[in-house]
Structure 1
Amino acid sequence: MSATKITVIGNVVNSPSRVRLQNGSVTNFRMAANERWFDSAAQAFVDGASFFVDVECWGELGGHVSQSISKGDPVIVVGNMRTHEWESDQGRRSRPQIKAEAVGPNLAKGTADFARVQRAQAAAPAEDTAPAGADLGSVDDLVRGRDYDDAPETLHQSDTPDLAREPAHV
């Protein structure tokens, strides 16, 4: 069976909620993707239809989402689309749902501070990697040949006055 892969860009509608189940943890939130375009005749932005979708994030992803994402945040969600169906007093009901593979902040709308999760290494570190537990946060701790190459052919000169400036987006 093939899955329907989808990427949705929108805003978080409610605060993510984390639930622990017998088979793991899941974090759920709802998001809205809104159509918007510039109407040149009216010289104004026009809002179109909205698409609401439930997002479920399992395991580690769910934990990161519950710690990082809040109501109102602009996000990008990548995952598999499916239809959630259930029986209610009004009969059979359904709504779209995404089982997320990745969730991240939309950096077109703001900035983010990313903190990589430190994982325990299962095997001994390879010759060209940093030793386990090494703090690579300081420039002084970097080792030439292991962490970077400074040969002339690896560096690219740029002359900043020659670079075109991007227009500011409001």
Structure 2
Amino acid sequence: MPDTDITVVGRVASPPRLARLDSGSSVVNFRIASTSRRFDRNTQDWVDGETFWSDVECWGDLGGNVVRSISKGDSVVVVGRLWTRDYESQNGRGSTSQIRADAVGPDLRWGWAEYHRPARAPRDEEGSADPSADQRPDSEESPFAESSSEPPTSEDYVDGSGALHSVDLDHELPEPALH
């Protein structure tokens, strides 16, 4: 069956939970709720429609970043693949929707965020990064490691007052029109 790609904009309905599997993999799960809204011409007001509920699973580094960044109640955008999980309970058989997330981020209509990139693995003399460094769950660069008071830095971003590149502005050119 082909994948069903989906983008959901909604609110985190449960705190993200981290689970480490026996295989060494890790997954983060949370629930998302997305309620449609429409304008009712009779009342001249916005009204809520149905709410779409789904479980979201985030594997590997994405899960670690979600645990460090997202909390219950946050407005988020989730992009991933939708599938149905069947289950059995005391009440009989059932199914629920689940999203295997490829990307999760804050919905910036409702607030702002600070973005921090984890430090990159050191490069060897030939210029290639150590491929095993990113896969060590207990390394300091791991998103599951305890957060320090200083944001991580890499060789791409160096603090300082100087510009990375000089800019030669031509003051004779008019500024582009704003639309």
- Superposed, which structure 2 residues align to 1:70-149 within 5 Å? 70-122=71-123, 124=127, 133=155, 135-144=157-166
Superposed displacement of residue 59, structure 1? 0.4
Name the CA shift for 1:156/1:121 in 2 (closer, same or farther; >3 Å). Answer: farther
CA distance in 2, matches of 1:156, 1:61: 44
- Tell me which amino acid in the other structure corresponds to 1:124: G
Q: Residue 158 of structure 2: SS of its match in structure 1? A: coil
Unaligned residue ranges in structure 2 (runs of 5+): 129-153
CA distance in 2, matches of 1:20, 1:157: 54
Deviation string for 1:94-122 (max 9, x for gaps)? 10000000000001111111112222254
CA distance in 1, matches of 2:127, 2:36: 50
Name the CA shift for 1:158/1:120 in 2 (closer, same or farther; >3 Å). Answer: same
Q: What's the TM-score once normalised by structure 1's chain length? A: 0.77
1:13 counterpart residue number: 13
1:50 counterpart residue number: 51
Name the CA shift for 1:151/1:86 in 2 (closer, same or farther; >3 Å). Answer: same
State percent identity of aligned pairs. Answer: 45
Taking only aligned residues, the RMSD between alpha carbons, in angstroms, comes to 2.4
Q: What's the TM-score once normalised by structure 2's chain length? A: 0.73
CA distance in 2, matches of 1:98, 1:105: 17
CA distance in 1, matches of 2:175, 2:160: 24
Name the CA shift for 1:121/1:2 in 2 (closer, same or farther; >3 Å). Answer: farther
Superposed displacement of residue 91, structure 1? 2.4
Greater displacement, 79-88 / 93-102: 79-88
